[in-house]
Structures are given as C-alpha cells and as structure tokens.
Chains A and B, each alone.
Chain A
C-alpha cells in the first residue's frame, strides 16, 4: 500500500532524512517511534507530499508521490491524515469541518456529505457537538473530530502524526480508543506515536528512527522482545520507565 524507498531529505545543507526505506501493507498497522528530532514527523509528511523530499521514492497504491505528473490533491484525498495539533478549521462548525472536503473534493451532495459526517460523529461519540465550533470542544474531542474528518473521505489508509502528544493525559485514551477500534477493523495505518501501549495492542510492526535514519524495522514482538540496536534499547528504557 505504502512503499517508501531510499527517501532522503535536506533542509539546506542539513540532512533530516537519510535513505529511509520501509513499507506498509494493506491492513497493516505500523508504529513509528524515536526521540524528538529523529525525523519521524518529517517522514510521515513525505508520504502524502506535505513535505517535499530530494531523493528516493514514495509510492502509494501504485502512484509515485514525488513524480512530476502526479495529481497530488487526488492522491491526498485517498490518504487520511491526523495532526498533532488537530488542525480543525476554526471558522467552520464541526459538521462543516466534516463535509467541506467531501463536497469540494469528492463532489458529494451536501445531504450525502452531512449524513456521512453525522454517522462518523456518532462513531466517535460526538453527535451532540455537530453544530458547535472547534474552539468549544476539548482537545480530545477535537482530535476525535479530526479523525472523523479524515475518515469522511473514505481513505484507503490513515497517517497519524503524534495524535496524542498535544493532549492532556486524561484525554489520551479517548483518542487511542478510536484508533484501536480503527486498527481492529483492518484500516491500514502508519502512526507516529510514543504510546507504546497502543503499539503493543494493535501494531503489526514498529519502526524506530534516530537522527533521520530508520534504525529498526521489526515486528512488534521482535521490537519489544529483543531490539537489536543500542539506541532503540536506550529509547525504550527511557520511555517505558514510568
């Protein structure tokens, strides 16, 4: 589904990604972790070309992301993305946040889009908030709306960029619950997250990045059982202490 081949990226002369290669198969849940500044967020933004990269190739469902003739808006509409800071549109109501792209990108009728939006709001347990504005919701609620907004496009895979990092601790689980449910339904997911509990529960593979390189790319059991690199061992010991 997602193929990342030898992707390298520089900011000026500073290299942020070095020959990153991995893949996410259909129905697979892959967790990407690593210390801050290791390039995980940059890598996941390269997948749907929110960040350009200078070398290598990213192929989604047979379409090369970086190629010249690629219809990026069309490709992105098939790849759902959830951001660290939610990025709901503050000037639109919750239901408008969910229907906007359905109408403008997928050309759905306003009614069909609204029905779809309401169904997804019900799924994330926020039907009562349909006509409120993002600023009136808590962080956890906003992030669940953001997930619903991405799902409204019927994506073939979902990208999560640290979806719980900006949340207060008591709101993390309500977001993770939605993600776990999604994973169990067979959604293809690539998640940048430090939630190792989530990784243990639903991930098939775990990728560990450090200094712009993919240091480990292992099945969940191998990763938590016997990480091969020193750096991964150190990282795990730091974040699993508490």
Chain B
C-alpha cells in the first residue's frame, strides 16, 4: 500500500502553481485575524473588566457565545448570511477574514483578560497616583505588562488559529489545504497530496511551537 505512493508530482512547479497562492492566503488570514483578534479581544477584555454591567454583559455574552459554537459553523453561517443581509456575496476570502477575526477575538479576549488580571492592582494605583488617566494607565502600564506576560499564550493561540484556517474549505476559499487538494485532483494523486499537506502543516506548527518555547524563557519580565 505504502509502496503505491507516488510523490514524484511534488516539484517546484506544483508549489508555484497551486500552493503559493493558498499558502499566501493562509498566512494572510492568520496574521489579519491575529492582529484584529487581539485588538478587538483586548477591547472585549477591558469591557468585561470595566465593572460596568452595560459594557461587561454584552462582552461576556459575545465571548461565551463564540466559544460555544464550532468555528466551522460560524464560517458557514457568516458566509451564507451576508448575501441575505447586504444583497450580494463578499467573496469567500473576505468573508473568512472577517469571520476569523470576530471568532478569534473571543479567545484572545480570554487570554488578555487573564493577562490584565495578572498585573497587580497596585500598578493601577501607581499609575493613577501619578495623575495618569484610566486610558493612559491601561495603555502605558497595564496592557504592555499583560501583553508581555501573555505573549507565549497569544502565540500558541495563533498557531492553533493557523491550523484552523484550513476550515475555510467549508466555503471554498483558496487556502494552503485547498492548494494541495486542487493539486491532488490535477495529478490524480489525492492521497499523496493530503499526506504532504499534513506534513507541511506539522512542520510549520511544530517549528513555531519550538520558537514560542524558546521565547517564553527569554521574555519574562525580571521582577
């Protein structure tokens, strides 16, 4: 069985014709969803920690809802609902980018919430006592420390996010996995293509994980 595998179709031409475009989109989706998710997630975390029910409650509801629905359903529903709302499709790629940003924000928000809570209350007092406003205290004192404390966890979440981008197959967006799938069909070697896809995802994620582990020991704030 294993002997029947034929990997000879895997060459540079295949990479440039089928995989590069998909790989580029997967990376783009990961980076945008990470940046957007962290910004939106931090805002959600600040709302939840604000002590004001009219901010905390909607934010908590949003986070808990997103965390209770499978990602693939959110991807599908957003893709299917948007044409009904705005009258036309926005395209699978754009739809995926928005969905991932909104979905990942819920997860990043929980990480940032833990990060903000990991910064001692006294730091907030010290900021206030110097005359800093709430916004300045958060931006200059609390969030940099929270971000730094949580950087390894944020990056780990990003690696998971990269793996999850393969779920855009549900709406037919052209990502890395799709590239392999199309190549497999073209060369009539679907099993080999999926096998290679797994290896590529594994190599990328495993090396990123090792980098995060190294980073973890290096960036800890000296206390």
The distance in angstroms between the C-alpha atoms of A91 and B142, with both chains bound, is 10
B-contact bits for A77-111, CB 8 A (1 contact / 0 none): 11111010101111100000000110011100000
Which B residues are in CB contact (< 8 Å) with A136? 222
A133 touches B131 (CB 8 A): no
Min CB distance A65 to B, Å, is 12
Interface residues of A in 89-147 (CB under 8 A from B): 89-91, 100-101, 104-106, 133, 135-136
Contacts A90-B223, A133-B222; A48 near B122 (Cβ below 8 A)? no
A89 touches B128 (CB 8 A): no
B126 touches A87 (CB 8 A): yes
Which A residues are in CB contact (< 8 Å) with B136? 104-105
Which A residues are in CB contact (< 8 Å) with B122? 83, 85, 87
Contact partner of B132 (CB less than 8 A), chosen from A45, A80, A81, A104, is A104
A residues sitting closer than 8 Å to B (CB atoms) are 45, 48, 50, 72-74, 76-81, 83, 85, 87-91, 100-101, 104-106, 133, 135-136, 149-150, 153
Contacts A104-B136, A135-B222; A89 near B131 (Cβ below 8 A)? no
B129 touches A81 (CB 8 A): yes
Listed by A's residue number, 19 A-B pairs whose Cβ atoms lie within 8 Å are A48-B128, A74-B131, A76-B129, A76-B131, A77-B131, A80-B129, A83-B129, A85-B120, A87-B120, A87-B125, A88-B126, A89-B145, A90-B145, A90-B222, A91-B148, A100-B140, A101-B132, A105-B132, A106-B131
Min CB distance A75 to B, Å, is 8
Ranked nearest first, the 9 interchain pairs of A and B with the lowest CB-CB distance are: A77-B131, A135-B222, A87-B126, A101-B130, A81-B129, A105-B131, A87-B122, A73-B131, A76-B131
Min CB distance A151 to B, Å, is 11
Q: Which range holds the interface residue count of chain B?
A: 20 to 34
Report if B83 contacts A (CB, 8 A). no
Give the tally of cross-chain contacts (CB within 8 A): 71
Which B-chain residue is minimally distant from A76 (CB atoms)?
B131
The distance in angstroms between the C-alpha atoms of A158 and B221, with both chains bound, is 29
A50 touches B129 (CB 8 A): yes
Which B residues are in CB contact (< 8 Å) with A73? 128, 131-133
The distance in angstroms between the C-alpha atoms of A120 and B158, with both chains bound, is 44
Contacts A73-B132, A77-B131, A153-B131; A87 near B123 (Cβ below 8 A)? yes
Which B residues are in CB contact (< 8 Å) with A106? 131
Min CB distance B143 to A, Å, is 10
Min CB distance A162 to B, Å, is 12
Contact partner of B126 (CB less than 8 A), chosen from A79, A89, A104, A153, is A89
Residue from the set B123, B131, B221 with the largest chain A CB neighbour count within 10 Å? B131
Report if B141 contacts A (CB, 8 A). yes
Min CB distance A113 to B, Å, is 12
The distance in angstroms between the C-alpha atoms of A176 and B188, with both chains bound, is 82
The distance in angstroms between the C-alpha atoms of A80 and B126, with both chains bound, is 10
Which B-chain residue is minimally distant from A49 (CB atoms)?
B128
The distance in angstroms between the C-alpha atoms of A76 and B129, with both chains bound, is 5
Contacts A50-B125, A135-B223, A136-B222; A149 near B130 (Cβ below 8 A)? yes
Report if B53 contacts A (CB, 8 A). no
Report if B144 contacts A (CB, 8 A). yes
Interface residues of B in 160-188 (CB under 8 A from A): none
